[in-house]
Amino acid sequence: MDRKSYVSTEHGWPVGIEDAVLWISFVTGILGTVALVWQFLVHWTGRREKRNKSLSDNILRPWSELQVRESFGPGEGTGLRLWIPKESLPANVAPSTSTDGLDLDRLPGLARAEGFLRKNYPPSFSTWVNVKALSENFTTVRRRRRSVIQGFVRTGMAELGVPLQAVQWEDWGPFTYIFDNIIAEVEDMAYWAAKYGRPVRNIRLGRTSSGEMISFEVSGNYSLLKVPEERRDVADVFVARLAGWTSDAQVLSDSAEMVKLYSELEKAITGLRSALKEIAVAIDMTGR
């Protein structure tokens, strides 16, 4: 036998020392690689859990306090407000927020939270998609109804028998009306009539004076029309027109649909809040 050293395997086969060293180095390399990968996974998992915890504290938990209400008034676009109460906002956002809270679409990181739900919690993301769809449908019906009411007002004000001018508040005077206010007044009355099942009218006719001039003003929630005292008949006809516009079949139908959509929206938001709270708790417990 030559001088090369041998060791025996379990089965008695000779293996050179050099080969044994080679195999030991190979195994050690594999173990080192596994350890490196494990350290990377631990580091990456820790960073992911930290990111998720930040997302939970700064976005999901505030989002889980989402509120909704009908929004009315001249110039109001959507007819809805989705917002987060100030006391539910993270510390870095709350100080710059008014006491009315923060509109949801201004919540920092909302798009990131949506992506997180889409990837990790599809049922909750579907609930959020439903909330957005109901909100958009409500706004679509409201805008359709507004278009109908605007047509009524434009035509009706031109048929009152006297020259009337549409003005803004700063130009309010005899023989004038505020177009946006009239639209908002009819919208409000029609919506609440549909919601409560009875006419809701708060129209007042009052006498005012400016110097020697006495006028009649028609108002409700907003200032609507002003005419000289001797043309009170115009004010009376206008009040009757308001009632007719409010009780129009298309206006009432759209208002009833809005009431239905709002009720469904409230229920959907209740479900979303519950789901988001559960997700936030799960992240606190598992990091995912």
- Give the position of tokens 């209740």: 270
Q: Could you tell me if 43 and 73 lie in one domain?
A: no
pLDDT value at residue 52 = 74
pLDDT value at residue 41 = 47
pLDDT tens, per residue, the chain with 288 residues: 454 454 455 555 455 676 666 667 666 767 666 555 555 444 444 555 677 788 998 999 999 999 999 988 887 777 899 999 999 998 877 656 677 899 999 999 999 999 999 999 999 999 999 999 999 999 999 999 999 999 999 999 999 989 999 999 889 899 999 999 999 999 999 999 999 988 777 899 999 888 778 999 999 999 999 999 999 999 999 999 999 999 999 999 999 999 999 999 999 999 999 999 999 999 888 866
Domain that holds residue 130: 59-137+266-286
Is residue 138 within 8 Å of residue 70, measured between CB atoms?
Answer: no
Closest CA to 77 of 184, 201, 154, 151: 184
Q: Is residue 101, in this structure, part of any structural domain at all?
A: yes
Q: Is residue 261, in this structure, part of any structural domain at all?
A: no
What is the number of structural domains in the chain?
3
Q: Could you tell me if 78 and 156 lie in one domain?
A: no
Q: Is residue 260, in this structure, part of any structural domain at all?
A: no
Q: Could you tell me if 180 and 204 lie in one domain?
A: yes
Burial class from Cβ neighbours inside 10 Å (0-12, 13-18, 19+) for residue 211 reads exposed
Q: Is residue 259, in this structure, part of any structural domain at all?
A: no
- In angstroms, the CA 269 to CA 135 distance is 10
Q: Could you tell me if 165 and 225 lie in one domain?
A: yes
Which residues neighbour 9 within 8 Å (Cβ) at sequence distance 6 or greater? 15
pLDDT value at residue 42 = 47
pLDDT value at residue 30 = 72
Q: Could you tell me if 126 and 87 lie in one domain?
A: yes
Is residue 219 within 8 Å of residue 204, measured between CB atoms?
Answer: yes
Q: Is residue 176, in this structure, part of any structural domain at all?
A: yes
pLDDT value at residue 209 = 85
pLDDT value at residue 201 = 76
Is residue 193 within 8 Å of residue 203, measured between CB atoms?
Answer: no
